[in-house]
Chains A and B, each alone.
Chain A
């Protein structure tokens, strides 16, 4: 079924029953509920979902970047069999940037505006490897070349504002790759870019991923982008992964009503003139812990059971799951 996966594939990241809850005196949000997935060496996992579906929170939780005083995290996140959630912060700091790196949506705000791009890249390299300034500089030039920034020798002395959006995102990727991470977390890195630049960055990421054998989790709300980059896809809704599987299986034969609805409400090249099949209603309010299928309010196939029971993952094949109670009934 899935020719890329064999049982011996090493898992670099395992997330099990991850739940993230934000609690303040005024409100609480159950942002992520019982999310489990794993990431194999050298694969790209697309995490697809609409705003508020919990995809970015999941990503931040993997690096423990969420503000600790208002967040309660449950479950387990393991990188190479090492538990992240209970790790001492000294060890975690070695891991961040070293084995696991992140690129963000808006490169303009994630770079420090008062230092040059070169200074920011070499800072990380020197911190992690303890090498000399000259060696770090040499490495930074290599990296800028790797992400295909023209004339890296000049660009290394640029401040972030001197670069265009696409160039900044390339520099951001160079920064993330500076300490040879194993896992790259990408949080909508192409959303703020123009169409012609977006595709350049996507193809660059794909090339680098193959060259270095990286594992990538790519978070996006854009189905087209997730198809372009992913090997495997996980669809999120209301803080849960509702469907996961090999990319072409999920896109061509969706097994969850939400995935199906999302695909049919997305405009294709040939939907002109036809009425769009919109999903009625709007995404769920996550202020209470979910006790039923989070999509049941909007699902045209939902019955009383769906509104009262929490669905479990139904295994449909190798690494193919759908969280639907009425699977096989509604199709």
Chain B
């Protein structure tokens, strides 16, 4: 069972998580740029973060046999801090980097004018760079926020098929489907969605244009939620092909629109299921200690 987590913040996770992801069949993932818990206060903080997503984190994932991709954007929450907004001028140069598969997370947090401005500008960048857009929906005022999101996308001229609207639930999935955008669902231990409700939504709305992610980050979350959703689908009578479609082919199709997905196996991982000692290293790094 090959799995693709289309939304997971690995920067906030440990190497144990990488090992568990690989052991459970996750071979590719997308890490969207987002906030860090502690608010950023300047552009340099974003630059180091973006560089880390395209450098260290990609390298770290590769040590565990997982292809790491990123989306880059000024997130809606920090779009409200004028000290952070000038990062918008730096974003274009990141959009041509290898493995940058979308602009995101963009969208709304509190639906302020500053968020409107950052959202629209970045949708224009998506158009200009022919990249998909990954849109976060607000935790509060989700329904109204989703409607407004879809309106802004329509006005932007970005094709709905180039947009995933994420963190959906039973209340707003219908409007996103009707708009022709991709539907993203984050499976969380307590909040957002859970596996059983996800299975019910798949029954009702089908598997087309559905992306399921763990959205695991520094909060209470579980990077193996894609795995448990796959099992829940099988237990509910979905076929292995359905699982492959939702948890591999769909994210490949959506992010593949960027032309930036790299999915060939990492050298040393194609044959065996264990990290290749020759590919590793140690020190101030990831794979500490001698391997046998």
Same complex origin of A and B: no
Interface residues of A (CB under 8 A from B): none
